[in-house]
Structure 1
Amino acid sequence: MKFAISYGTPSFGADPDRMIAYAQHAERCGFEALYMPEHVVLYRGAKLGEMEFPPDLPYVDPLDALAFVAASTSRILLGTGVALIPYQHPVVLAKRLATIDVLSKGRMRLFTIGLGSLPGEAAALGIDYPSRGRRADEAIDVLRLLWSGDDKGVSHRGEFFAFDDLVSYPHPVGDTMPIHVAGSSRAAARRAGARGDGFFPGGMLSPDERVAQLALARSSAAAAGRDPDALEYTRWAGITMSPARAEALAAEGVTRVVVSATSDDPAEQQDQMSAFAERFSLGQAS
């Protein structure tokens, strides 16, 4: 099992020194990857279930932040948890992702997408909220098409995007980039199997629903002519997780766990990371 860490909640703030220290310590501890969350805008009354978002939370742009972190690290992989792909134009996004991947020497490897759950956020960006699933599917296809193209260009005609003979360089390292799909719905599981390289379901699911969604992701991969065994399965967990809990998750098919420091104090955050790294023998913690 692989172990990654998220730059927690936006309450950690946008202080550049604090962000770099967090990422560098995570790298020293041996974490595989650093994830950054996304919201483009918030507003009063924005809620996810019963949780209301304080509108002044400082959500940084995850790709800009990951590029910033990449310049001060050398090994840790870069991930989004999650990027709201319906709110990005895939032609621009293809260039941004490939640029980060090339400049980080192939570390933009855990690009994870979601649909977004705040109707007001979609409305602010001129996106029809009910259609964002179809828009996400098409955006994934466009990203892969642009990264696979040569100097003759590629063309696309879809519901949301259309272009002729476009050439987009640089390509990601190896001319491709894994795309993981997040979400707590069966539609997300189907999307992960049909189009994704990994499935990253949300935290508020029953055990039976988790089993059903993983099976659906795998069967959707097989139906699309893809290898179900190649599909990575990522889950959230607490930073105080025990080895026994990790073993239980591995038995469920989990291949990667993402945790986050819970303290708002930078020194305590580093202590939490170090303790986790020691508990799971990730590397030399500092």
Structure 2
Amino acid sequence: MRFAINYSTPFHGADPDRMTAFARHAEDCGFEALYVPEHIVLYPGAQVGPVEFPPSLPYPDPLDCLAFVAAGTRRILLGVGVLLLPYHHPVILAKRLATIDALSKGRMRLLTVGLGTLPGEAEAVGVDFGSRGRRADEAIDVLRLLWGGGEDGVSHQGEFFAFDHLTSFPKPHGVTRLPVHVGGSSRAAARRAGRRGDGFFPGGALDAEERALQWELARLSAAEAGRDPEALEYTRWGSIGMTADDAEALAAQGVTRVVVNPMSPELQGQRDEMSAFAERFGLLPG
């Protein structure tokens, strides 16, 4: 099992010194990856279930944050959990992701995409909220088409995007496509992960029965699409205070990666939590 750390930009903002110190310590501790979240805009009354977002929460652009982190680190992989894919044009996004991967020498490898749950956010960027699932499916196809295309260019005619003979360089570092994981807490997200994703990263608000059902649905959907279910990665949220028994229980459910959140509001407390976790699980480089 691999372990990653989440840097909560809504609570820490765009403080460059704090972000760099956090990322470097995570790397020194042996964490596989650093994740950041995304919201493009908020507004008064923006709410998911019972949780209302304060409009002043700072959500710096996740890809800009990861490019900044890459410049200050050497090894740690870069992840987004989750990037709101329907709100990004895939032609522009393909270039941005490939550029970060090239400049980081192959570390932009844990992109997780989702649909978004705030109707006002979709409206703000001119996207029909009801069609965002189909838009995301097509966007994944466009990303991979552009990454894999050569000098002759590639063409696409779809419901939302259309172009002829486009070339997109630079390419990702040493590969023809970047992994795209699918996030979300719905059965539709599980099916999307199986049909198109390289992994599944469900949300935290699911009971054990539904969680198991969704993972099985992702694997079944992969098989039905002629893909290898065993190749799917399975990422879950976990507690930074988790024990070895907790990790074994997750592994028994098929989990291949756990992303944890520090609980301390202060940087030194977060560093202490990361160090204790790394020691408990033997992550510290020898």
Instruction: Provide TM-score, normalisation by structure 1.
Output: 0.98
Determine if contact 1:8/1:262 at 8 Å carries over to the other structure: no
Quick one: distance in 2 between partners of 1:9 and 1:234? 20
Instruction: Provide TM-score, normalisation by structure 2.
Output: 0.98
Superposed CA RMSD: 0.9
Quick one: distance in 1 between partners of 2:280 and 2:48? 33
Q: Which runs of 4+ in 1 moved over 3 A?
A: none
Shift of 1:284: 4.7
Shift of 1:10: 1.2
The percent identity for this pair of structures is: 70
Alignment of 1:152-191 (within 5 A): 152-173=152-173, 174-191=175-192
Instruction: Output the amino acid matched with 1:75.
Output: R
Shift of 1:100: 0.2
Determine if contact 2:9/2:60 at 8 Å carries over to the other structure: no
Instruction: Output the amino acid matched with 1:120.
Output: G
Shift of 1:9: 4.8
SS in 2 for 1:81: strand
Instruction: Output the amino acid matched with 1:61.
Output: D
Residue 71 (1) aligns with residue 71 (2): yes
Name the residue aligned to 1:249: 250
Instruction: Output the amino acid matched with 2:220.
Output: S
Quick one: distance in 2 between partners of 1:8 and 1:256? 18
Name the residue aligned to 2:123: 123
Quick one: distance in 2 between partners of 1:200 and 1:77? 16
Shift of 1:263: 1.4
Name the residue aligned to 2:194: 193
Name the residue aligned to 2:146: 146
Shift of 1:176: 1.1
Gaps of 5+ in 2: none
Shift of 1:8: 2.4
Quick one: distance in 2 between partners of 1:78 and 1:274? 20
Provide Cα deviations, 1:103-150, integer angstroms capped at 9, x if missing partner.
Answer: 000000001100001111111111100100000000000000001111
Provide Cα deviations, 1:69-92, integer angstroms capped at 9, x if missing partner.
Answer: 000000000000110000000000
Alignment of 1:57-96 (within 5 A): 57-96=57-96
Name the residue aligned to 1:113: 113
Alignment of 1:18-37 (within 5 A): 18-37=18-37
